[in-house]
């Protein structure tokens, strides 16, 4: 019988997710700074060293940190089983992921081959530790498969993403010969963005929206099965591509259309929520879903890779996770204090409300800063100078603000923790 999910000691120390989230926000500062320094150069080509460096700053820099931090925290809640040796495991993941991302991005931007290979190797090690520890955790949990299947498949999608990525790095550095780099790049980014990011983000949205906004249950055909079908379609696309290269676009088209259906159900569920408040998380998630739809339409109707990439990376990948951070951090601060309160049997001690840790006005102010930078970047498509640099400046400031919000939440938590412990 699995009663682990009821224990108060399941959650890892709060510093673990906070460390991942703070690092992510610093990567986000670098993204803004790079755009500010390089300006309109970023729009030259999706294959330019700068564009490749920026893309990976978003994915293995910002996204990987946020998603790992959230997973370390959500896995015990979803599966009722903690990550094994969570402190040592998370330290190893954090360090190798940080080193790997920095070296990989330097390798791309400076076209420095050794840095690319070492960076990719560090990232492979980080991803391997994540997958092994998550598998052990899920195996021990004996939780119903449907609770964890989607998020699990999302993380498994990292395997083909990383394998294609490693081949591409070896191809780029001349270690091996790859006959069709474009095709392999398409497979690498399809598994990364549609598989890993898409599946993990939407399985998280499906979990948190009903809890925080009291929505009607999303139909189980969508909630339980749609994301595994995405995974299956990606396998089919990959295999059929090697039988007939013409099938690649068709396979991806089916996957993208399925994502449009998933986005529709997520948006409809939010729209029909019983709790009619509009908070910062909802604004970030709404914007992310809307950008996803726009990028899918842009991909189907045009071949403007830079526009599709911008909508997807900026509008979805750099947006939805922030909404999740603003829900998770105040909850975690409160949850950990609550645990201490119960353990010390101080039930009448008054804890501050969750929103004390990150005030709603601060989170909303960040949303408007984030949106300003996004709008400036979209304007920069038509008027690259001076709007690209302005977008970079706005995004740097917005990211620093995110860093400040996370740090202040943690400092407020520490103060409350001290007060709770000193209370006789």
Partner 1 sequence: METITNSMTHDHRRCDEIFVNMEQAIIRKEWRDAEQLMGEFVQSMEHHFEIEEGKLFPVLEEMSSQASGPVNVMIMEHDQLRHLISQLNSAISKELKELAAELSDTLLVTMQQHNMKEENVLYPMADRIVPDLSVEIASHLVESC
How far is it, in rounded angstroms, from Cα 154 to Cα 201? 9
Q: Which stretch binds partner 1 (CB under 8 A): 54-62, 118-126, 315-323, 347-355?
A: 347-355
CB 329 within 8 A of CB 409: yes
C-alpha torsion 399→404→406→412, nearest 10: -170
- Candidates 243, 301, 347, 382; binder of partner 1 (CB under 8 A) is 347
Rounded to a whole number of angstroms, the minimum distance from the CB of residue 420 to partner 1 is: 13
What track of x and - describes contact with partner 1 for positions 389 through 418 (by CB under 8 A)? ------------------------------
SS3 letters for 320-334? Answer: HHHHHHHHHHHHHHH
Taking the mean position of all CA atoms in its chain, how far away is CA 89? 19
Taking the mean position of all CA atoms in its chain, how far away is CA 49? 23
Rounded to a whole number of angstroms, the minimum distance from the CB of residue 330 to partner 1 is: 9
Question: Whose Cβ is closer to partner 1: residue 32's or residue 80's?
Answer: 80
Write out the two tokens for 214: 């009291």
CB 168 within 8 A of CB 178: yes
Rounded to a whole number of angstroms, the minimum distance from the CB of residue 274 to partner 1 is: 5
Q: Interface residues for partner 1 in 71-90 (CB under 8 A)?
A: 77, 80
3 binds partner 1 (CB under 8 A): yes
Question: Whose Cβ is closer to partner 1: residue 2's or residue 221's?
Answer: 2
How far is it, in rounded angstroms, from Cα 52 to Cα 190? 15
- Candidates 140, 184, 236, 354; binder of partner 1 (CB under 8 A) is 354
How far is it, in rounded angstroms, from Cα 73 to Cα 13? 9
CB 79 within 8 A of CB 147: yes
Could you say which DSSP state residue 214 is in? -
Tokens 């673990």 map to which residue?
Answer: 16
Query: Where do the H-state alpha helices sit in 302-319?
Result: 305-310
- Candidates 48, 341, 372, 417; binder of partner 1 (CB under 8 A) is 341
275 binds partner 1 (CB under 8 A): yes
Rounded to a whole number of angstroms, the minimum distance from the CB of residue 82 to partner 1 is: 15
CB 229 within 8 A of CB 254: no
Cβ of 94: how many Cβ atoms within 10 Å?
19
Write out the two tokens for 333: 């601060």
Rounded to a whole number of angstroms, the minimum distance from the CB of residue 153 to partner 1 is: 20
Q: Which stretch binds partner 1 (CB under 8 A): 164-172, 329-337, 391-399, 404-412?
A: 329-337
Cα distance from N-terminal residue to C-terminal residue, the chain: 38
- Candidates 112, 225, 265, 331; binder of partner 1 (CB under 8 A) is 331
Taking the mean position of all CA atoms in its chain, how far away is CA 190? 15
271 binds partner 1 (CB under 8 A): no
Binding residues for partner 1, rule CB under 8 A, total 30
Closest CA to 128 of 79, 104, 161: 161
- Candidates 175, 239, 300, 342; binder of partner 1 (CB under 8 A) is 342
Rounded to a whole number of angstroms, the minimum distance from the CB of residue 358 to partner 1 is: 11
274 binds partner 1 (CB under 8 A): yes
Q: Interface residues for partner 1 in 105-164 (CB under 8 A)?
A: 147
Rounded to a whole number of angstroms, the minimum distance from the CB of residue 33 to partner 1 is: 35
Question: Whose Cβ is closer to partner 1: residue 80's or residue 198's?
Answer: 80
Site residues (CB under 8 A) for partner 1? 1-3, 5-8, 77, 80, 147, 211-212, 214, 274-277, 331, 334-335, 338, 341-342, 347-348, 350, 353-356
């Amino acid at each position: 019988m699995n009663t682990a999910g009821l224990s108060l000691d399941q959650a890892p120390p709060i510093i673990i997710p906070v460390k991942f989230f703070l690092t992510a926000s610093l990567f986000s500062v670098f993204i803004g700074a790079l755009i500010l320094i390089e300006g309109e150069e970023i729009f030259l080509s999706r294959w330019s060293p700068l564009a490749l460096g920026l893309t990976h700053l978003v994915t293995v820099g910002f996204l990987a940190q946020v998603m790992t931090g959230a997973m370390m925290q959500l896995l015990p809640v979803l599966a009722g089983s903690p990550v094994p040796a969570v402190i040592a495991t998370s330290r190893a993941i954090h360090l190798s992921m940080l080193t790997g991302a920095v070296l990989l991005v330097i390798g791309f931007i400076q076209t420095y081959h050794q840095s690319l290979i070492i960076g990719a190797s560090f990232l492979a090690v980080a991803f391997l530790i994540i997958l092994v520890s998550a598998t052990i955790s899920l195996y021990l949990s004996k939780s119903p498969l449907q609770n964890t299947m989607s998020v699990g498949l999302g993380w498994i999608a990292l395997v083909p993403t990383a394998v294609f990525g490693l081949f591409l790095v070896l191809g780029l550095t001349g270690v091996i010969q790859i006959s069709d780099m474009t095709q392999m790049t398409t497979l690498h980014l399809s598994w990364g963005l549609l598989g890993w990011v898409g599946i993990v983000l939407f399985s998280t949205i499906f979990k948190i929206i009903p809890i925080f906004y009291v929505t009607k249950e999303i139909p189980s055909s969508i909630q339980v099965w749609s994301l595994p079908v995405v995974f299956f379609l990606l396998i089919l696309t990959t295999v059929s591509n090697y039988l007939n290269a013409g099938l690649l676009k068709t396979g991806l088209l089916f996957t993208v259309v399925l994502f449009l259906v998933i986005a529709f159900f997520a948006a409809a569920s939010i729209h029909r929520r019983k709790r009619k408040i509009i908070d910062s998380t909802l604004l970030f998630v709404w914007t992310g879903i809307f950008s996803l739809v726009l990028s899918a339409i842009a991909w189907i109707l045009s071949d403007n890779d830079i526009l599709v990439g911008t909508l997807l990376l900026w509008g979805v990948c750099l947006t939805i996770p922030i909404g999740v951070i603003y829900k998770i951090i105040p909850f975690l601060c409160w949850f950990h204090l609550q645990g201490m309160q119960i353990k010390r049997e101080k039930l009448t001690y008054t804890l501050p409300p969750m929103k004390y840790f990150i005030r709603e006005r601060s989170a909303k102010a960040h949303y408007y800063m984030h949106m300003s930078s996004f709008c400036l970047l979209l304007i920069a498509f038509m008027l690259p100078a001076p709007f690209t640099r302005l977008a970079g400046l706005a995004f740097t400031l917005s990211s620093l603000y995110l860093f400040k919000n996370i740090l202040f939440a943690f400092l407020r938590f520490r103060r409350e923790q001290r007060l709770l412990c000193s209370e006789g």
